[in-house]
């Protein structure tokens, strides 16, 4: 069978690209190895009555322009913001990050009046960086090597924005993109717990510690999203993150697209340097002169492409591209709402993201364990109970806890990621939570444990890296994934990339998918408005 375009992988980026293809009137097919769509944005029911957001669990980065252009609300997507969050320390105190600005200020003052002022300075500094980077998200990064006219105009666009910052800000921006989150926060805050709360966003998903250079950018990557115009706000997708990709699949099908699930890509068919179609593991063959891969760059070119078809420097670049899985995930069904010894009764911040930490050093020690090939003895956790807000994921009165764990290595120094080690890993996490929530353990009805290895095996994210590759400066913008190939094209004509391995990177954002679609449509000579004006 012949299609105008085939998309490999029904992750949210593959789906986004596919939606735009179908909307442009192309006969479009998606092939997905699993028997459900979503990749790392998925909701599955593993025990009756409960639905988990098995991988990603909170939403902010998904570009509003994409939500609107693909009419995702009409197809069932609803994003609900959540209220703040908190960190509990071992001494029984907490710092609550409250969404009400006046309340937050009072809470900051409770810890340190100086930090209350520092917070305003910090918020402004980060917001400035957001203003700088946001317009770059839905644009193709310029290629400073090729310097075609469009690259020059894009470079000028960036330089102009950069220049608008003013001399001091320019220096600040360069520092920001390369410095560590710990050093960055030390400029504004003195309270260890407050720094620890904010620093979490700088290390989530990376193989870096809070004192490693480059982590300030990772914070920005988590801050540049929005919910209804509130920059930096996070929300739940009603029904779990899978409802995002379900809505995308419906939007795609409404435009006439076709999805085939249950058999993965075996290889791309390439002839004379041009892509001709795909062969699936079950032997099915489909033809198309445009094939877009939503898999990460290593899978796409090392596992599924004949190396002979690729220039050596490109292959070297792909092999050099770093993944480094560092995160695990626990999804837990609870028989009731756990109590937290440190929290006042009915505290609203329990509806947000919770952490159990004393200071940034504790995160750094957790990172040290990872470097040694062990999961952290005292891990950083991002713990949420979405069912306090979302009535659809557990029966009334029962709850679902999503627990993101940093750090867990892809390869263990001692042994394999077998059931025993998975259990031991979960036990480390649960016993840490138990110190702050004594009834947590006995409320557990069911749990799903995912190591980086499981994430690789089940979701297809190489080494379990949640972003399809590290978000370090050397792998961003025109360097993502490989210098000279940052514009979604590959050395093979007609074969494109649209996953998080491409600019602007990982997270449930959709920007790589939309940008790739724009480049493909341009190559095909379609001059259509994708409806993405902000």
Ligand X SMILES: Cc1cc2nc3c(=O)[nH]c(=O)nc-3n(C[C@H](O)[C@H](O)[C@H](O)COP(=O)(O)OP(=O)(O)OC[C@H]3O[C@@H](n4cnc5c(N)ncnc54)[C@H](O)[C@@H]3O)c2cc1C
Residues that bind ligand X (CB under 6 A): 8-14, 31-34, 39-41, 55-58, 61, 264-265, 294-295, 299, 327, 329, 404, 455, 459-461, 466-468, 499-500, 506-508
> Which residue among 149, 283, 396, 525 contacts another protein (CB under 8 A)?
396
- Rounded CA-CA distance 113/105 in Å is 9
Answer for the pair 228, 222: CB distance below 8 angstroms, yes or no: no
Out of 31, 72, 86, 278, name the contact with another protein by CB under 8 A: 72
Tell me which of another protein, ligand X, none is bound by residue 466, counting a contact when its beta carbon lies within the kind-specific cut-off of 5 to 8 angstroms.
ligand X
Total residues contacting another protein by CB under 8 A comes to 26
If one asks whether residue 120 binds another protein (CB under 8 A), the answer comes out as no
Q: How many CB atoms lie within 10 A of CB 341?
A: 11
Query: Is residue 528 part of the contact set for another protein (CB under 8 A)?
Result: no
String of DSSP letters for 85-142: EEEE-TTS-EEEE-SSHHHHHHHHHHH-HHHHHHHHHHHHHHHHHHHHHHHHHTSPPP
Q: Which is nearer to ligand X, 9 or 209 (CB)?
A: 9
In the complex with another protein, which residue's Cβ is closer, 288 or 532?
532
The partner in contact with residue 149, picked from another protein, ligand X, none with C-beta cut-offs of 5 to 8 angstroms by kind, is none
Residue 228 contacts another protein per CB under 8 A: yes
Integer Cα distance of 256 and 30 in angstroms? 12
- The site partner of 409 among another protein, ligand X, none (C-beta below 5 to 8 Å per kind) is none
Using CB distances below 5 to 8 A depending on partner kind, what does residue 461 bind out of ligand X, another protein, none?
ligand X
Smallest gap, in angstroms, from Cβ of residue 460 to ligand X? Answer: 3
Q: Is 48 in the site for another protein (CB under 8 A)?
A: no
Asked if 53 contacts 390 with a C-beta cutoff of 8 angstroms, the reply is no
3-state DSSP of 321-365: CCCCCCEEEEEEEECCCCCCCCCCCCCHHHHCEEEECCCHHHHHH
Q: Which does 31 bind (CB under 5 to 8 A by kind): ligand X, another protein, none?
A: ligand X
Q: Give every CB contact of residue 431 below 8 A, 6+ residues apart in sequence.
A: none
Q: How many CB atoms lie within 10 A of CB 272?
A: 7
Residue 381: asked if its preceding bond is cis (omega within 30°), the reply is: no
403 vs 102: CA distance, rounded Å: 29
Site string for another protein, 90-109 (x = CB under 8 A): ---------xx---------
Among 64, 232, 483, 491, binds another protein (CB under 8 A): 64
Give the residue at shortest CB distance from ligand X. Answer: 11
Distances (CA, A) of 297 to 423, 456, 480, 489, 519: 31, 14, 10, 12, 17
Contacting positions for another protein (CB under 8 A) = 64, 67-68, 72-74, 78, 80-81, 83, 99-100, 227-230, 238, 388-392, 396-397, 533-534
């Amino acid at each position: 069978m012949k299609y105008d375009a085939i998309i490999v992988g029904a992750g949210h980026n593959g789906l986004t690209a596919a939606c735009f293809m179908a909307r442009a009137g192309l006969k479009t097919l998606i092939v997905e190895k699993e028997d459900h769509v979503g990749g790392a944005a998925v909701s599955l029911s593993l025990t009756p009555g409960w639905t988990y957001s098995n991988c990603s669990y909170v939403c902010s980065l998904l570009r509003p322009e994409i939500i609107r252009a693909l009419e995702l609300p009409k197809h069932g997507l609803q994003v609900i913001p959540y209220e703040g969050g908190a960190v509990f320390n071992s001494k029984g105190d907490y710092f609550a990050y409250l969404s009400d600005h006046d309340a937050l200020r009072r809470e900051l003052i409770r810890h340190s009046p100086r930090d209350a002022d520092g917070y305003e300075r910090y918020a402004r500094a980060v917001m400035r960086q957001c203003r700088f980077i946001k317009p770059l998200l839905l644009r193709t990064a310029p290629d400073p090597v090729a310097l075609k006219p469009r690259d020059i105009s894009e470079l000028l666009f960036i330089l102009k924005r950069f220049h608008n910052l003013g001399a001091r800000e320019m220096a600040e921006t360069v520092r920001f993109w390369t410095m560590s989150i710990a050093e960055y926060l030390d400029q504004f805050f003195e309270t260890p717990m407050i720094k620890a709360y904010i620093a979490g966003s700088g290390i989530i998903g990376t193989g870096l510690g809070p004192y490693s250079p480059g982590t300030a950018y990772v914070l920005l990557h988590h801050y540049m999203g929005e919910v209804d115009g509130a920059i930096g706000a996070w929300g739940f997708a009603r029904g779990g993150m899978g409802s995002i990709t379900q809505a995308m699949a419906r939007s795609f099908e409404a435009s006439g697209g076709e999805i085939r699930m249950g058999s993965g890509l075996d290889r791309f068919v390439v002839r004379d340097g041009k892509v001709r179609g795909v062969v699936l593991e079950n032997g099915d063959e489909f033809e198309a002169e445009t094939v877009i891969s939503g898999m990460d760059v290593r899978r796409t070119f090392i596992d599924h492409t004949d190396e002979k078809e690729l220039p050596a420097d490109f292959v070297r670049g792909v092999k050099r591209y770093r993944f480094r899985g560092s995160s695990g995930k626990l999804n837990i069904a609870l028989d009731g709402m756990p109590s937290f010894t440190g929290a006042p009764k009915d505290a609203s911040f329990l509806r947000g993201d919770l952490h159990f930490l004393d200071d940034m050093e504790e995160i750094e020690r957790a990172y040290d364990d990872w470097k040694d090939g062990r999961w952290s003895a005292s891990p950083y956790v991002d713990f949420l109970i979405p069912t306090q807000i979302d009535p659809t994921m557990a029966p009334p009165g029962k709850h679902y806890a999503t627990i993101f764990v940093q750090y867990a290595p892809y390869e263990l120094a001692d042994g394999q990621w077998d059931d025993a080690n998975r259990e031991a890993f979960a036990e480390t996490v649960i016993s840490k939570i138990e110190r702050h929530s004594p009834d947590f353990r006995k409320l557990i009805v069911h749990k799903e444990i995912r190591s980086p290895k499981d994430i690789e095996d089940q979701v297809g994210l190489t080494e379990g890296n949640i972003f399809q590759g590290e978000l370090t400066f050397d792998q961003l913008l025109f360097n993502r994934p490989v210098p000279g190939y940052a514009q979604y094209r590959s050395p093979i004509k007609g074969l494109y990339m649209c996953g998080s391995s491409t600019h602007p990177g990982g997270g449930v954002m959709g920007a790589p998918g939309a940008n790739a679609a724009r480049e493909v449509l341009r190559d095909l000579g379609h001059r259509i408005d994708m409806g993405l004006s902000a």
